[in-house]
Amino acid sequence: MKNILESFLDALEVRYTKRYVRRLYEEHPHRGNMYGLKQMLAVYGVRALGVYMEDKDLLNLSYPCIFHTGNDFVIGLESNGSRIVFWQQGKKKTSTHEAFKSDWTGNVLVVEDLEKAGEPDFKKHRWEDLQFVARCFCLPTLLVFATGMGCVNNWGELSFLHWFCMSLDLVGLCLCFMLMQKQLLGESKYGDKVCSFFHHADCNSILEGAYAKIFGGSWSEIGFGYFMANILLLSLYPSGIDVLCVVNGLAMCYGVWSIYYQWRVAKNWCVLCVSVQAVVWCMGIMAACHIRGISLSAEACLWSAMVLVACVMLVHQYAFSYQSDKERIRMVQRYKGLKANSVVAKALIESSTYYKVSEEDSSVVFGNKEAHLHITVLSNPHCNPCARLHKRVEDMLKWYGDDLCVQYIFTAFSEKAEDSCRYLISCYDKDNPEATRKIYGEWYAGGKNRYESIVKEHADSIHTDEVEQEVQKHFRWCKGHGFTATPTVLVNGYFLPREYDIEDLVMLTNCQIEYPRKNIVHDINGRSTTPLGAESLSAEESV
């Protein structure tokens, strides 16, 4: 089922790729509140605003929008007259205004602007999605192809028993697939329908029980691998059917234990599990009726054992990879949530070295100067890591420019490269930051490799008194604090802790950073002025 972010982007008709949007949502530390949804929408170029409507006037809203109802979010699609159409838990619903207002808390996230909406690097992500799908379905496709080729090549050897058993194996394969969906995803569209048809609500108590796994693999994985191996052997190696009959007889014994366990131990029934056992017993009974004598050769036993083990291990590996990725996402989300915790952030940031910095040290400032979050980036125009960091900073300014302020301080570790700093400083236009950011982006994207021709072309504009005064402030600040490595990132004057990436700073919504009183790296000019943004770090979102 689609998450709230996917559904809302659908309602806004904004293109996205599934893996990117789901990773963004599942790993976001604030995915459960409106501030987090606002930040995620900002990544897609959708400007949203969280508001509280005391009068709950549904007719005075722009649609689509996101409503907060109790412990859930719903997407309002349209409202006309006395009824509202909304999307909740993957279903489109209609309700009267009065009934909807009784559940609505009054908090709503409305869209202000989506003129430039779209997923960043959409083509790249779509190509990555296609590669992922190809990797996932490459082997299953080859197995289907092998089965088809086997049926064609061994057509004369395939009896009624072969075809009947393959048909039952296909049914068992579908049933085990639905069981694996419930095991891995917690739900199965068609599996849940099968359960509801028999008025049975849930199979999870059996699937998650103490005996649901053996040697680290679930019985649903073993069943899927078993039926898949049966189909391959019947089509590619028809003479090995006698071995499969013996194996199926053993599987019938497991079916007896499974029914007993559900009946007497768990005292609950899994409709899909019982259906799988019914398929196994039908195959066993059919084989017993048609085979007069069983002939087991060493070759047939070896091939059958190899294929059975390989199929079971292959299915288990697929399931294990999926579960591992799911666990990784869960741990990343928890780790990001820990870093976004104001107590943790305050402790880590305030324990870092502090350097006084203000606009007196550099006038190259982007974003909202009134923002509480002030980031200082010490950058070398010819540094490749600086170029990569600039791309990340540019994305932050594009998505969260209203919530942060970014100050650049340029330095060069050779006299030959100092003119590059002068060029970048001369390009800064505080009245047109968009144009400046475009020039900086072009420089770090490749312009720095032909800096000599660029510097020569702009010689008149870079060798001015104004530029020289500014560049000397940059050099003096860098030299005074003894920085020898770039890029270096400060947040409100504090050295960015190694536990944080620069993108994590936008998650610090409720953190108050205190001005240091001791163990300070003193200002090189002995100034007593308070550095920009040093008193506090707060970006609380009110809805």
The Cα 480–Cα 474 span in angstroms is: 10
Write out the two tokens for 231: 């189909």
- C-beta of residue 373 within 8 angstroms of C-beta of residue 505: yes
In the chain, what is the straight-line distance between the N-terminal and C-terminal CA atoms, in Å? 27
350 touches 496 (CB < 8 A): no
pLDDT tens-digit series, residues 203-238 = 666 666 666 676 667 778 888 998 999 899 888 888
- Whether 386 and 486 have beta carbons less than 8 Å apart is answered as yes
Q: What is the structure's pLDDT at 210?
A: 62
List Cα–Cα distances, 511 to 39, 340, 368, 484, 508, in angstroms: 17, 9, 18, 30, 6
pLDDT for residue 393 is more than 90? yes
What would the two tokens of residue 170 be? 């296909």
**β 104-113/217-218 pair status:** unpaired
Residue 229: which of 206, 203, 251 has the closest Cα? Answer: 251
Question: How big, in percent rounded to 5, are the helix, strand and coil portions of the chain?
Answer: 55, 15, 30
- Chain segment 487-524, per-residue pLDDT in tens: 999 998 999 999 999 999 888 866 777 767 554 444 44
Residue 170 has phi, psi (to 5 degrees) of: -65, -40
Model confidence at 129, pLDDT cuts 50, 70, 90, reads: very high
pLDDT at 205: 60
User: Can you say whether the dihedral through the CA atoms of 386, 388, 394, 400 is positive or negative?
Assistant: negative
Q: Compare 538 and 422 and report the one with higher pLDDT.
A: 422
Q: Could you tell me which residue, 274 or 533, shows the higher pLDDT?
A: 274
Report the chain's mean pLDDT, rounded to a whole number: 84
Residue 473's pLDDT is: 94
Model-level pTM? 0.75
Domains in the chain, start-ordered, CATH in brackets? 4-113 (3.90.70.10), 122-323 (1.20.1440.130), 354-507 (3.40.30.10)
Q: Kindly report the backbone phi and psi dihedral angles of residue 432, in degrees, each rounded to the nearest multiple of 5, phi listed first.
A: -140, 70
How far apart, in whole angstroms, are the C-alpha atoms of residue 206 and residue 176? Answer: 14
Contact, 406 vs 377, CB < 8 A? yes
Tokens of 5: 């972010």
Residue 199 to residue 36: CA distance in whole angstroms: 39
Q: How far is CA 227 from CA 11, 149, 171, 489, in A?
A: 41, 18, 9, 57
User: Of 243-247, 292-296, 393-397, which gets the smallest average pLDDT?
Assistant: 292-296
β pairing state of 488-491 and 373-379? antiparallel
Place 386 in a pLDDT band, splitting at 50, 70 and 90: very high
3-class DSSP assignment, residue 407:
strand
